[in-house]
Amino acid sequence: MTSVPRSLADTSGVFRRNWTALTLSRQFALAGGLVILVGMIVVGTWVSRQIEEGVTKNTGIATALYVDSFISPLAQELANSKTLSIGPIRALDEAFLESPLGKRLLTVKIWKKGGVIAYSTNYDLIGQKFAPTDKLKAAWNGEVAVGFDDLGDEEDADERAHGIPLLEIYSPIRAPWTGEIIAVAEFYENATELQASLASARFKSAIVFAGVALTMALMLMGIVHRGSQTIDKQGEELRVQLREATRASEQNQRLKERVQRASERVAELNEQYLNRTGAELHDGPAQLLALASLRIDSLRKTTSEEKRTEEIDIIKGALDDAMTDIRNLCRGLTLPDIAELSIQEIVQRVAHTHQERTNTDVEIEGDDVAIPAAHSIKICVYRFVQEALNNAWQHANGIDQQVGYSFNKETQSLTIKVRDGGKGFSQTKSDNSTGGLGLVGLRERIGSVGGELNIITKDGEGTLLTMSVTIK
């Protein structure tokens, strides 16, 4: 089995790469143009040849009929003789050598059967015998044989000497009553004008075919070009859609990872929150209840009425404090009904509740425009303001507490800000040391509704927490 040479394979590979790099319209221009060019050349050549043969044959037949009117009456004696008598010869000489017809017909020969020349304007050929040509044989079969001769036959020496294009015509000479072919007339017509006419016709045909081919090519190229542009446009749209789909897929993957991390973080935060709640129950109400239980035992052993009254007061105070701690803890765990509240009302409720619980002041600033929001965003706003104010109270002693809210209608973005005038803190430290949800919990909660948490703080310069979310 033979293998393709490496250089040929490399060349083929380069050609395929260059070919596929071309646009569809350029590929058609090259391939289609070549096919149309070759096709028009083949068709044009064939049509020109058919026209040339038809014109040549018609011209030859017309000349043959004209000449036959001179030759046929003078050559009838060849039906019974191999040569012509002096009378017909003199008449033929006068017709072909001494008349204007002689300028048109340069040479005339009359053939008998067997390839014998019975008459010729060149007397040296009379009586000589030559091998019959194909055209001569066709004439003996009754056809008028016409064509441009290359003058390569032995008897064509005189014709070659003229050095001009000649139309060779063989015409059968028939007996008037029987129609029998008694001889064949061969004559050569000066075809200079005919050949010039044929050349002009060929040139004009080539121009017409070239124009038609060019018009067809341009029309087809226009159609293909429009189709190519449509395909390119659709391809570009598909590529854009693919890029958008890829970006969406990547974004979905990032969101999936983010949700997974948030889910893990929520589980961790829930565990921390349960631990904090347990610690608060243990350190607060549980200790007070334990104190009350001990005082009850002491009360049982006391006999003095005054001492019993004192122990009862201590037990009641411990139980009241435990109940207060439990209520405060429940208030932090449960969420009030905020479904029907606006964002402004939620912020104001959280701030007022914080003021009552901590006995501190909170400055509220915001737009009067109603801010619509989904329930999940309302919950997020409630917990954000609550936790931010708790941090401000615990770490900044409630100094210069401020809550602001704003809504951008163009971008449909909601912004909540909580500021304090405390000492600030370093963000490199753990943000869950507060005992509350912590900044990480806030960030995860805000991120779950598609928002962002921004923290601006420095040691000694206070803290600003900003929640930003787009309301859809």
Instruction: Give the distance, in angstroms, between the CA of residue 217 and the centroid of all CA atoms in the same chain.
Output: 24
Number of domains in the chain: 2
C-alpha distances out from residue 153 to 57, 131, 158, 197, 435, Å: 21, 9, 11, 27, 125
Q: Which of 142, 167, 190 is the last residue of a domain?
A: 190
Name residues of the chain where pLDDT drops below 50.
1, 430-436
The amino acid sitting at 26 is R
Predicted local distance difference test score (pLDDT) of residue 30: 75
Q: Is position 281 within any domain?
A: no
Per-residue model confidence as pLDDT tens digits over 385-423: 888 888 888 888 888 899 999 888 888 888 999 999 888
Predicted local distance difference test score (pLDDT) of residue 417: 92
Q: Is position 93 within any domain?
A: yes
Predicted local distance difference test score (pLDDT) of residue 464: 92
Q: Is position 226 within any domain?
A: no
Residue in 348, 341, 402, 350 with CA at minimum distance from that of residue 370: 341
Per-residue model confidence as pLDDT tens digits over 95-113: 777 666 666 777 788 888 8
Q: Which of 190, 218, 252 is the last residue of a domain?
A: 190
Per-residue model confidence as pLDDT tens digits over 70-79: 778 877 877 7
Domain with residue 367: its CATH number is 3.30.565.10
Q: Is position 274 within any domain?
A: no
Domain with residue 51: its CATH number is 3.30.450.20
Q: Is position 257 within any domain?
A: no
DSSP annotation string for 125-182: GTT-B-PPPHHHHHHHTT--EEEE----SGGGHHHHHH-S-EEEEEEEEE-TTT--EE
Q: Which of 172, 190, 208 is the last residue of a domain?
A: 190
Q: Is position 254 within any domain?
A: no
Q: Is position 144 within any domain?
A: yes
User: Which residues, at least 6 apart from 166, have a Cβ–Cβ distance to it below 8 Å?
Assistant: 106, 148, 149, 151, 159, 188, 189, 190, 191
DSSP annotation string for 34-80: HHHHHHHHHHHHHHHHHHHHHHHHHHHHHHHHHHHHHHHHHTGGGGT
Q: Domain span at residue 44?
A: 19-190
Q: From CA 255, how far away is CA 252, in angstroms rounded?
A: 5
Q: Is position 13 within any domain?
A: no
Share of the chain above pLDDT 90, in %: 4
Residues paired with 169 in a beta bridge = 146, 187
